[in-house]
Structure 1
Amino acid sequence: MPITRSGRRTWRALEESRVQGRGLVRIASFGASASTHILPALVATVTRSRPMLRVEISESADKPSLQALRDGLADFAIAVEHDAPDLEMIPVARDRLVALVRHGEPLAKRATLDAATLSGCDFILTKGGSEPLVRAWFARTRHEPSVRHNIQQITSILAMVRAGMGVSVIAEMAVPETHAGVAVIPLTAEQPRVICLARRQGSFGSYAAELLWKTALETSKAEL
């Protein structure tokens, strides 16, 4: 039985999907760390070899990103590594917490800062994905931050530190390249975090999604 014109079009579309990776992959990103430092390189790597693959990124807080993944609204989510039986995760980057202090303050001259020192300062607490890590870092030495402000946006935190309204601790990857007037200081002891590409356990939603996952897996093995 001869193949119809419609059948040939369907066959060509399937072949393009298999060979060239044609398709849309949706990634839920939790914010500046992922959207600035992780996803551009990953997307560039996969689309360089599969130019017909398209990636759509939506940015929100970490919990809504993971919920979008679980609800099937995204193929993948960028998430801080944690135990989640329904998810599979590939480490794609390592990060750490750092302190933010206004230039000109005595603390800005320190090589490192510890929880005991920072607990004595007015504190600007991030309400982003790093908040649990920040609280855990203080708790490890049985200290608590003296929280005066609870802020979601990194730009707002920097502006408040610059204005002398307090100090803060955030993920180093979230710090913009330009942060005039604010010193970025490592912590003692360090509080690392592993950032992962997460997917639901089971089969992939598309061949394009499978290609991106394989690329992330190869990159992880090469770099981490």
Structure 2
Amino acid sequence: MTLTQLEIFSLVAELQGFTSAAHRLGISQSAVSHAIKALEQELGVALFRRHQTLVETSDIGQQLLGRARAMLGLANTLQQEAADARGMKRGTLRIGSFGPTSSTYLLPRILSRFRQAHPGIEVHVDEGPDRQVIHWLDERRVDIGFVVLEQERLDTYPLFEDQMVALLPTDHPLADREQVTLKDLCGAPFALTEAGSSELVTRLFSDARLVPNVRYRCSQLLSTLETVSRGDAVSLVAQASLPATPDPRYVQRPLLPAVPRKVGLAVLDRRQSSPATLAFIRIAQSLAL
């Protein structure tokens, strides 16, 4: 068993295909097939179920996938520590990011400073909903992720705090108020943004024993903004996620009582984090975002 075989196994599982994995790695499909066949023969189990156009991990393959990713993560940490001894001139950092707050507001400034300090580190960024970033951390698909705090299972580092605000059409009756309650928002059609802080929004209503009238489930904040701007719904979003120049067709109003939202970085285990990951954390905290 080699790390190359484990890397190929992990990538085939992620992309659900031998051809796509071969393209990503820059090798032939036959080389991918040979590596998987050799690994299956050594382990004595079938790692994948083959379909016409896709492959999916078998039950035992899914179980072993987590172990494989853990081993690859530790190998990457070893390589990073060796690179650190040489001045961190080489290595890879995989980052999970969610929504405009991290992808647009936080990440660019951190990455700019990180690349200046460590130009030899190759950076990969995956974007998805906040719950997806946590899933990627659990699967070890990313080394570090932006998350909404608190996350008790993870080692976290607070970076930034803003407020949740009500988003209302300009001509909506609630737009005349200085503050809006969660109960107020239950009286109109509601647009829920699946990306970003959807888990926090859902939990806020649940804790208050309220049920919003969800008519729209938007995969991106831009869709939510357009839905509210048309006058079709109200919403609840994080203030930092809103564009710097808002559309005059909608307004934002603070919640009563105020609801802060904390955003930070998270890793599975700081003790196993690579030098590049720890350097990224230090730079992010130094910027006092």
TM-score category (smaller protein): 0.7 to 0.9
C-alpha displacement of 1:182: 1.3
* Partner AA of 1:154 in structure 2: L
C-alpha displacement of 1:60: 1.0
Structure having greater relative contact order (Cα 8 Å, sep ≥ 6): 1
2:179 match: 112
2:97 paired with 1:26: no
Equivalent residue pairs, number: 207
2:113 match: 45
C-alpha displacement of 1:70: 2.1
C-alpha displacement of 1:202: 4.7
C-alpha displacement of 1:139: 4.2
Deviations 1:99-156 (A, max 9, x none): 1111222322322111222221121122224223223333454432122222221111
Structure 1: which 5+ residue stretches go unaligned?
1-13
3-state SS in 1 of match to 2:141: coil
1:156 match: 223
Deviations 1:57-103 (A, max 9, x none): 11012222222222222110111113333x21101111221111112
Q: Percent identity, please.
A: 30
Cα distance in structure 2, aligned partners of 1:20 and 1:140: 46
* Partner AA of 2:186 in structure 1: S
Q: 1:93 to 1:162 in 2, by over 3 A?
A: same
Greater shift, 26-35 or 177-186, is seen at 177-186
1:126 match: 193
Q: 1:139 to 1:66 in 2, by over 3 A?
A: closer
Deviations 1:162-200 (A, max 9, x none): 111111111112212243111121111111121111112
C-alpha displacement of 1:48: 2.6
3-state SS in 2 of match to 1:19: coil
Cα distance in structure 2, aligned partners of 1:210 and 1:142: 40
Cα distance in structure 1, aligned partners of 2:210 and 2:270: 42
Taking structure 1 as the reference length, the TM-score comes to 0.81
Cα distance in structure 1, aligned partners of 2:243 and 2:285: 27
Taking structure 2 as the reference length, the TM-score comes to 0.64
C-alpha displacement of 1:157: 0.9
2:258 paired with 1:186: no
Cα distance in structure 1, aligned partners of 2:277 and 2:204: 36
* Partner AA of 1:110 in structure 2: R
2:137 match: 69
Q: Which has the higher helix share?
A: 2
Deviations 1:12-56 (A, max 9, x none): xx5676425532211011222110111112112222333333322
* Partner AA of 1:23 in structure 2: G
Cα distance in structure 2, aligned partners of 1:75 and 1:15: 16
Task: Confirm or deny: 8 A CA contact 2:144 2:267 kept in the other structure.
Answer: yes
Off by >6 Å, runs of 4+ in structure 1: none
Task: Confirm or deny: 8 A CA contact 1:100 1:183 kept in the other structure.
Answer: yes
Cα distance in structure 1, aligned partners of 2:183 and 2:83: 61
Cα distance in structure 2, aligned partners of 1:57 and 1:31: 13
1:10 match: none
Cα distance in structure 2, aligned partners of 1:218 and 1:40: 15
